[in-house]
Amino acid sequence: MNITKRLSPNKYKGRSGWKPDCIVCHITEGAYMGAVSWLSNPVSEASAHFVVAKDGRITQLVELTDGSWCNGTSSDPASRIYFGKSTLSAVRDRKTNANYYTISIEHEGIWADAHGKLADAQLAATIELIRYIRAEVKRIYGVDIPLDREHIVGHYQISPVNKPNCPGSAFQFDEIIKQLRIPEVVVSDYEVERTQDWARLKKVGILSSAIPDTTAVPKDELAVILCRFADALAKGVKI
């Protein structure tokens, strides 16, 4: 995953003692580069941690250790962004600016065009980006961001009055969470070497080609394999 950094001056330095445990998804209501430019402009008084283009490009505007100006909530009950209006219990209970404990991702798009549905490349990039964010938050803060709809959320859940359509009803939250719950397969050098050894043993006839490339060998094959191994060594076969 390739992330371009273009750090915005619009941010909170640090997180006022809070640790991030919620990822908030947004829609830009504009083009990718336009959003990156605007959220980097001090005049906008707004920012996000990341912006994801329809073609899968990603720009980072704010470090994960800083708060972005994207999900602000107010302590004023008369405000449209009053924290008490949130549908999320964590936002209501914490009674503070939600920017302190959230990470924001803006997605290129126009709500009226697709109601927030991500393009295929954009969806794939978002899944990998959230995977990266969770790993970094774990590394930096020791926090595991849960894979559920209380922690992978839309801006509308934080500010339902002010942002009822952000990112939109067609945004693929369930698909994103489903894909993130699938364990990521990492093949170590040892595993690669072991697979190569397995193939070599098959090549010299010690292992049957019908046996899968795994360390699990059927019991009824073991005696035969040991005999083949001893025979190969006696014949000077290089293994």
Average pLDDT, the chain: 89
Count how many domains the chain has: 2
164/197 same-domain check: no
12/47 same-domain check: yes
Structural domain includes residue 239 = no
Please give the pLDDT value at position 205.
73
Structural domain includes residue 63 = yes
CA distance linking residue 52 with residue 59, whole number of Å: 7
Q: Is the model more confident about 37 or about 204?
A: 37
pTM of the model: 0.78
55/127 same-domain check: yes
CA distances from 196 to 27, 33, 214 (A): 47, 46, 11
154/81 same-domain check: yes
23/131 same-domain check: yes
54/141 same-domain check: yes
pLDDT at 88 over 80: yes
| Beta carbons within 8 Å of 108's beta carbon, 6+ residues apart | 28, 30, 31, 32, 35, 51, 52, 53, 54, 122
Structural domain includes residue 196 = yes
Mean pLDDT of 218-239: 65
Please give the pLDDT value at position 172.
98
Take residue 56 and report the two structure tokens written for it: 């899968």
119/53 same-domain check: yes
pLDDT tens digits along 147-205: 999 999 999 999 999 999 999 999 999 999 999 998 865 545 555 455 666 677 677 77
Q: Which domain holds residue 212?
A: 189-234
DSSP the chain: --EEE---S-EESS-TT----EEEEEE-SB-HHHHHHHHTSGGG----SEEE-TTS-EEE-S-TTSEESSS--BS-TTSTTBGGG-S-HHHHHH-S-GGGSEEEEEE-B-HHHHTTPPPHHHHHHHHHHHHHHHHHHHHHH-----SSTTTEEEHHHH-TTT-TTSS-TT--HHHHHHHHTSPPP---HHHHHHHHHHHHHHHTTSS-TTS-SSS---HHHHHHHHHHHHHHHHTT---
Residue matched to tokens 């190569």: 196
135/220 same-domain check: no
pLDDT tens digits along 107-143: 999 999 999 999 999 999 999 999 999 999 999 999 9
Structural domain includes residue 99 = yes
138/26 same-domain check: yes
| Structural contact between residues 137 and 145, judged by C-beta atoms closer than 8 angstroms | yes
CATH number of the domain that 59 lies in? Answer: 3.40.80.10
160/226 same-domain check: no
